[in-house]
């Protein structure tokens, strides 16, 4: 699993996501590796549209951004079919992780 955290300059003042070069590269790498990729772009954009900046500076989230990140992580862990640590160590994917 990968969570993409957009930089401030990738979210317009209107809350629209304008992906930078890194987004495309990371998305391609995730696809190639078979890793699920999530993005905070929509949540950050929604926050900005409400007048709440999720950024401390251009690349670091403030308390509001950290809250959005934690909410997304909780949602992923509760709803997605992610293997547990035990399954990663003992299941069929354990061999793939070791390689």
Distance (Å, whole) CA 91 – CA 74? 23
pLDDT of residue 87: 65
**Cβ-proximal residues to 42 (8 Å cutoff; 6+ apart), any chain:** 17
Answer yes or no: is pLDDT of 92 > 90. Answer: no
Model pTM? 0.78
What is the SS3 assignment for 67?
helix
Distance (Å, whole) CA 13 – CA 3? 22
Residue with tokens 């990371």: 26
Mean pLDDT of 68-86: 82
Domain count, the chain: 1
Distance (Å, whole) CA 15 – CA 51? 10
pLDDT single digits (tens) 10-45: 999 999 999 999 999 999 999 999 889 999 999 999
- Tell me the residue range of the domain where 90 lies: 2-98
Query: pLDDT above 90 covers what percent of the chain?
Result: 70
């Amino acid at each position: 699993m990968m969570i993409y955290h957009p930089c401030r300059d990738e979210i317009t003042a209107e809350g629209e996501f304008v992906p930078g070069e890194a987004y495309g590269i990371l998305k391609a790498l995730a696809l190639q590796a078979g890793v699920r990729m999530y993005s905070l772009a929509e949540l950050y954009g929604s926050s900005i549209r409400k007048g709440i900046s999720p950024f401390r500076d251009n690349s670091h989230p403030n308390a509001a951004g950290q809250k959005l990140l934690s909410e997304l992580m909780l949602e992923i862990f509760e709803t997605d079919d992610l293997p547990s640590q035990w399954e990663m160590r003992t299941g069929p994917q354990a061999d793939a992780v070791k390689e």
